[in-house]
Amino acid sequence: MSVTAIRPGYHGDMKDTVDKFHANQILGISWDKHLMYATPMCIPVPPQMPFGALVEQVLPTLFGQHPQFAQIDWSKAEWLRSDEPFTPAFDKSLADNGIGHKAYIRFRTPGLEGLSGASI
């Protein structure tokens, strides 16, 4: 399906292409079963940032307040990229991990399923 407009050739501007983000790309990120964070987050990141740096330096600033965060064993964490499982290489860049502009990743931490049995 496509839009029906008064003349052929109708197209909106691509408002959020990567060139508009000052050398960053944006990344959607969510920690499954931890609904204390009621929504996924969206952050700007340099595409060359190593995946390991994302985990070690960025994620604590996003999720560090959660009591289970410190308990995460990252070697057991499960990752999804565009809702499909994938195995990130921590030493490679986001770009080299196939995490491009406006990518969306989720992680799961088996054994750490949120607080009070209510996925908080």
Partner 1 sequence: MTVEIRTQAIKPLRNTFGHIARRFGEKTASRYQEGTYDLQTETNRHYKPLWEPELDIYDKRRTAVQMKDWYALKDPRQFYYGSYTIARAKQQDALDRQMDFAEKRELLRSLPEAAQQTILFALVPLRHYEWGANMNQCYAASYGWGAAITQAAMLGAMDRLGNAQHLSRIGLLVDGNTGHSLAQAKDTWLTHPDWQPIRREVERSFVTRDWFELLVAQTLIADGLVYPLFYQQVDAWMARRHGVGLATVLDHMMRWQDETAKWVDAVIKTAVAESPENRALIQGWAQQWRGAFLNALSPLAEAVMGADGAAALAAVNTALGARLAKLGLEA
Partner 2 sequence: MNAPQAPQTLNKPAKKLSLKENYALLTRGLGWEPTYQDKDDIYPKVKFEGIKIHDWDKWEDPFRLTMDAYWKYQGEKERKLYAIIDAFQQNNGQHNVSDARYLQALKVFLNGVVGLEYSAHRGFNMIGREFPGVGAAIAAQMQAVDELRHAQTQIHALSHYNKYFTGMAEFPHQFDRTWYLSIPKSFFEDAISAGPFEYIIAICFSFEYVLTNLVFMPWMSGAAYNGDMSTVSFGFSAQSDEARHMTLGIEVIKFLLEQDPANVPIVQGWIDKWFWRGYRLLTLIAAMMDYMLPKRVMAWNEAWDIYFEQNGGALFADLARYGIRMPKHWEQTVKEKEHASHQLWCTFYQFRHAAGFPVWLPTAEEMDWFSVKYPTTFDTYYRPRYEYWRELEEKGTPFVNATLPQLCQTCQWPLLFTEADDPTTICHREETYLGDKFHFCSDGCHDIFRHEPEKFVHAHLPVHQIYQGNYFNPGVDPTAPDFNPLVEALKYMGINPGVDGGDFQGHIDAVNWERWTNKPANMHAPMQTQPPAHTDDRKTA
Q: Which positions lie near partner 2, rule CB under 8 A?
A: 1-6, 10-17, 20-22, 24, 26, 28-30, 32-33, 35-44, 61-62, 65, 82-83, 100-104, 106, 114-120
3-state secondary structure of 115: coil
Angstrom distance (rounded) from CA 120 to CA 13: 39
Q: Kindly state whether residue 87 participates in binding partner 1, applying the rule CB under 8 A.
A: no
Six-digit token string for 35: 């609904």
Q: Kindly state whether residue 64 participates in binding partner 1, applying the rule CB under 8 A.
A: no
Nearer to partner 1, 16 or 73 (CB): 16
6 to 35, contacts with partner 1 by CB under 8 A? 6-7, 10-13
CB burial class (10 A; 0-12, 13-18, 19+) of residue 19? exposed
